[in-house]
Amino acid sequence: MTAFDCRSAWRAVRDAAMASHAERATATRVVVQWGHCSQAVGAGEIHRRLAQLFQGRDDVVVVAAGCDGACFAATQVIVEFPHGAARFFDRVGGDDDLSEIVAAADGGAPQRVRPEAELEGFFSSQHIALMEGIGSVDPTSLDEYVAGTGYRGLAAALAMSPEAVIGLVLDAGLLGRGGAYFPAARKWQAARRVNATRRHLVVNAEEGEPGVFKDRHLMEGNPHRIIEGAVIAAYAAGAENVVIYINAEADLSADRMAAALSVAESAGLVGSDVLGSGFDCAVTVRRGAGGYVCGEETTLLNTVEGRRREPRLRPPFPTDAGLYGEPTVINNAETLANLPAILRGGARRFASVGLDEARGTRLVSLSGAVRRPGLAEVPMGTTVRQVIDLVGGGVPEGRALGFAVVGGPSSGLLPASELDVPLRPGMLHTSGVVMGAGGIVVFDDRTSPVQVSARLAQYNAAESCGKCTPCREGTPRIAEALGRIAVNEPRDSDLKDLQDLAEIVGAASLCGLGQMAGNPVTSLLHFYGDTLSAAAGE
């Protein structure tokens, strides 16, 4: 496959979007940040009432945007004026707030300011790249996305050969962001090398881990960025079929992805003959079958094919024989969202942020006992403590930091004394704690680490698909032993059994759920083993 000259088709799409966007730029915009987080505190109702209050007015438009990551301040509303100034409102709820917003839209504002120091503190320590525009742009509007930098990366990719795109992304050093951190472009290379008449690319946006919500923010706030990245990757891999796989419960994410996909297809950015290049790329949205294990690559493929949600034996790997037995690339949504910027700005710019061995930024889902929970974007190499203290503002006043669960239920916990570890691929600590998909759940000094570990073990046991014996039988036994210890009723053999089970389940399980299910145990025993031994009378 060779590069295509799609400049003429791209200019037509760009010019039409810019003209349409300019026509609407004379109106005041009332932007309601409505994501899965703010939906829980009434963002949908706030959007409905504001739309009703401004109904029939040509000078004001009410827009539903995604959450900019400051979930603690939800619901946020921004009044943007045509001359560039803006008013920011946070924690919007009652009638008085809505009246103030209406008055602001009618009266103008002298300067662009945020409402409080908490929001400034949340954003000042971040490096915004993937989250740029989220919270202010209409996520389903092609015009707004293209008026920024949207689909320029795709146009640049189609002007290159697939091999050149692969080389550029390899030079940038983009690693996967789903948890394994495999070089993204290596998968494209592997799939291209297989002699096949059809290839597939699957966007893994299943995101079933508790305490992880980065992909949902991207899908709800800027779905076009994921679509653009997916088409770039498909072009590089030689895949003409893209499946965007979304969690069964992520309704808002699925709705916005589908709406953005519809307008992108109408503009010739996906589907047949993308931008007149001769490259065909069909893109569809599929919903997950439910369950944490669906995020595992081969389980995901089984559910797309209508099979049981359980993993496959590997090899063969998906790049050799994946969806319907054909070569398949599976990339995480956050991974693909990095591609437009790499194609626009080049490898060097992307690689200038982060670590030599892990370049770029990392989306971190921060929750629990912090003053400012939300989604943060920080350079790779930022420490866990910096995320908690600088971005999250530390634990609430009057409490002390106890520990943090880092990396989700398949990782482990770090006590307060061990939080100066940098976010990077692989092990963060020899105890078995990994970065995983980038979740950090903070606990203060009122919470027992044993009880939290027991809860993680219960979750892993409940989510086991049951296909392989070590995971099916071992994870419930881990949960039972930790449960007894948590209520101070341990058996004499529980600590020894936990050590053995963590090792056996991890070594003998078929997929990542079982292979990592022992990590909460190993980290608990590493940091709190002496305390547990004393409690057990050993």
SS3 of 148-172: the string is CCCCHHHHHHHCCCHHHHHHHHHHH
User: What is the number of H-type helices and E-type strands within the chain?
Assistant: 22, 13
From the list 225, 219, 186, the residue with the least C-alpha distance to 205 is 219
Alpha carbon 371 to chain centroid, angstroms: 21
**Sheet of 412-415, strand order:** 374-379, 361-368, 439-444, 401-406, 412-415
Phi-psi map region of 128: left, alpha, beta (phi>0 left; psi -120 to 50 alpha) = beta
Quick check: 244 and 226 in contact, CB under 8 A?
A: yes
pTM: 0.94
Q: Within the chain, which residues score under 50 in pLDDT?
A: 1, 110-112
pLDDT at 18: 85
Pairing of strands 241-246, 439-444: unpaired
pLDDT at 265: 96
pLDDT at 63: 96
Q: In the numeric block, which tokens belong to residue 247?
A: 């969690």
pLDDT at 272: 94
pLDDT at 9: 83
pLDDT at 26: 84
pLDDT at 110: 46
The length of the chain, given as a count of residues: 538
Whole-angstrom Cα distance, residue 18 to residue 415? 51
Domains of the chain and any CATH numbers: 26-124 (3.40.30.10), 142-350 (3.40.50.11540), 361-447 (3.10.20.600), 450-535 (1.20.1440.230)
pLDDT at 151: 96
Whole-angstrom Cα distance, residue 14 to residue 5? 15
Quick check: 322 and 328 in contact, CB under 8 A?
A: yes
Whole-angstrom Cα distance, residue 451 to residue 342? 43
Radius of gyration (C-alpha) of the chain in whole angstroms: 24
pLDDT at 108: 59
- Under DSSP, is residue 324 helix (H, G, I), strand (E, B) or coil? helix
